[in-house]
Each structure stands twice: as C-alpha cells, then as structure tokens.
Structure 1
Amino acid sequence: MSSITIRNLGDTVKHNLRVRAALHGRSMEDEARTILRNAVEQDAPSGAALVQRIRARFAALGDVDLLQPPRKAMREPPELPTGHAPDSA
C-alpha cells in the first residue's frame, strides 16, 4: 500500500473532516481514504462511458459515410526452400 502526505490543509477543512469522520464512525485517516477512493472511482470512465463522451462531442458534425476501398485477393505466400529445418535460436 502507498501513502501520501497532504500539506497546507486549511483548519476548516481539517475540522470538517474530523466532524465527518465522527459522523461516520471512522478515523480522520479512514474518512479521507474513503473520500479519495469514492472520488477517483466516480471519475474513472468505463469503456462505454468513454465511447458515449466521444460520440457526444462529435454529434454536432453529423454522420460521415466513408467509402471502403475495394479489396483484392490475398497474394500467395512465397515458396520456401525445402529440406532445411528452421534455425532455432
């Protein structure tokens, strides 16, 4: 587990954290951990949420139909010399 130190925390913030921790029956440290964990988990977009945000950003531009280039048949693989085992390195 990692740890951090938070410096220059205002007296009011520290007091409110202490009160909030007491209301939840936790230590100040545990309350701060819970607040940080919840904030980070809420902000982490899922794959579906990311797709929705991208679509929303470009929705005003409208749909775009892209032409697919014609496909050609795959070429045949090159002939390899026979009688030689591949080098194992």
Structure 2
Amino acid sequence: MMAVLTVRNVPEEVHRALRMRAAEHGRSTEAEVRAILAQAVSPESRLLMGDALMNIGRRFHLSDEDVESMSQAHDQKPAEPMGFE
C-alpha cells in the first residue's frame, strides 16, 4: 500500500513552476512531486564497500603485493561457532 500525502497552501508560483518542470520531464505534476521527494530523501552519494576498501588501502599506501601477502597470511580455515555448554 502506498501512503497518501496532501500538501496545502502551496504558493501559486511554486505550483506553476512544478507544472512547468513536470511538462519538461514529460510527466504529471503529481509524478514530478514524487520524483522530487524521492530525490530529496535519497543519500547524495552511496559509499560502496569496494570503494571504501580501496580508500583504506590508499590511505595506508598498500600495494597489490601487500594485499596478496595479507590474504595468504591469514588462516583459511572457517571459524568455529562458540559453544555455550
């Protein structure tokens, strides 16, 4: 189910600008308002895990050889779950 939102007392010049913007994008005023609201609450930029790891590597000046040696050095065996007996 979708929520319904009513906005009252929208100034005429804002409503006119919304109609014009909607027409430019080829959609209804209501669809334009939904698009504006969705964009307004979305994060400006998502940090992806790969980008975060790459930035950490750069900050610590890690080379590909450093990463390879670290991956070979750690224990390859899966961790055992804790027992509570």
TM-score (norm 2): 0.49
- Which one has the bigger helix percentage? 2
Look at both structures and tell me which one has the larger radius of gyration over its CA atoms: 1
